[in-house]
């Protein structure tokens, strides 16, 4: 069995969502986590996660951080975010983090939101799914600063496409790293080298669907069933069988997302 640790089922039409989930199960994907991008979407995600094998998170994507936090850092408290995790189908917080590529929200607002989510994850005792794009240095600095000031928290760097330095910083802090279809792209040799060298007990796989369909399905709308292709490529990189990779990443998922165990 495989787990798609990060997808966006609410981006699929309601009329086809059950078919998307059914295709994932037919492909051997037994569980999936549908990820929040705004706090307003939380109720809808909880309803989607009512289906067996589907879990949800709560949180604010950095693209939307400016809708919740101002440049002075004022916005939802960690306590209020943590309270949103009380539903039994909610297993994590996020996605949150920093995106300096698109810069759709002021960077101070992104940073304030990121810190609030880290503290909420610590309070709730659930992992934080982190989005990092063109912001490796600041993501690493904030992770270390929050760890030193407030203590440990569980997290994973989702859809990892950053550099080796951020991967190493995450590992040093006990974090996990999840690979998407980007791992299969022809020009991702540097990313595959990082995936090869990471500790086996920190690896997860995901789709980030409906985006980033893996090879050989590039150009198609991605869906959770396609995580199989990423898992096969990661198994090749790690020089293990696809079955062993599935066992490894599923076990890692349940160690991180303890509410889903």
Tell me which architecture the domain covering 2-260 has in CATH. Alpha-Beta Barrel (3.20)
As beta bridge partners, residue 93 has 58, 128
**H or E element: which one contains 238?**
helix 227-238
pTM, full prediction = 0.97
User: In terms of Cα–Cα distance, which of 57, 5, 58 is closest to 31?
Assistant: 5
Write the DSSP string, 11-52: GS-HHHHHHHHHHHHHTTEEEEEEPPSSGGGHHHHHHHTTST
The closest alpha carbon to 157, from 221, 143, 145, belongs to 143
Stretch 80-97: mean pLDDT, rounded?
Answer: 97
Q: Which residue has the tokens 């920190």?
A: 202
Residue 86: C-alpha distances to residues 5, 57, 153 (Å): 20, 11, 18
More confident residue, 147 or 261: 147
Beta strands 29-34 and 2-7, pairing class:
parallel
Structure tokens at 203: 């690896």
Reply yes or no on whether the pLDDT at 60 is more than 90: yes
Contact 139, 98 (CB under 8 A): yes
Give CA–CA dist 143/150, Å, rounded. 10
Q: Any idea what the Cα angle at residue 44 is, between residues 41 and 47, rounded to 5°?
A: 150
pLDDT tens digits, residue range 163-188? 999 999 999 999 999 999 999 999 99
Question: Which of the four pLDDT bands, split at 50, 70 and 90, describes residue 42?
Answer: confident
Compute the distance between CA of residue 117 and CA of residue 79 in angstroms, rounded to an integer.
Answer: 9
Q: Helices (DSSP H) in 84-226: which residue ranges? A: 107-124, 136-150, 164-172, 189-197
The pLDDT of residue 170 is: 98
Confidence of residue 261 (pLDDT cuts 50, 70, 90): confident
Give residue 6's pLDDT.
98
Confidence of residue 43 (pLDDT cuts 50, 70, 90): confident
What pLDDT shows up at residue 235? 98
3-state secondary structure (DSSP) of residue 85: helix
């Amino acid at each position: 069995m495989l787990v798609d640790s990060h997808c966006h089922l609410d981006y699929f039409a309601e009329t086809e969502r059950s078919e998307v989930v059914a295709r994932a199960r037919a492909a051997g994907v037994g569980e999936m986590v549908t990820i929040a991008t705004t706090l307003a979407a939380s109720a809808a995600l909880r309803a989607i996660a009512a289906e067996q094998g589907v879990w949800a998170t709560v949180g604010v994507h950095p693209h939307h951080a400016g809708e919740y936090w101002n440049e002075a850092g004022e916005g939802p408290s960690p306590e209020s975010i943590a309270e949103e995790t009380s539903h039994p189908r909610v297993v994590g917080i996020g996605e949150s983090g920093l995106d300096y590529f698109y810069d759709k929200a002021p960077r101070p607002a992104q940073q304030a939101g990121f810190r609030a989510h880290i503290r909420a994850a610590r309070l709730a005792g659930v992992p934080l799914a982190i989005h990092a794009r063109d912001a490796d240095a600041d993501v690493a600095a904030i992770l270390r600063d929050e760890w030193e000031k407030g203590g440990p928290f569980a997290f994973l760097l989702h859809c990892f496409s950053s550099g080796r330095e951020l991967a190493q910083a995450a590992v040093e802090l006990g974090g996990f790293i999840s690979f998407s279809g980007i791992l299969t792209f022809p020009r991702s040799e540097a990313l595959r080298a990082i995936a090869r060298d990471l500790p086996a007990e920190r690896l997860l796989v995901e789709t980030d669907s409906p985006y980033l369909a893996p090879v050989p399905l590039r150009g198609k709308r991605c869906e959770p069933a396609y995580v199989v292709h990423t898992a096969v490529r990661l198994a090749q990189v790690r020089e293990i069988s696809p079955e062993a990779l599935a066992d490894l990443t599923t076990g890692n998922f349940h160690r991180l997302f303890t509410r889903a165990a």
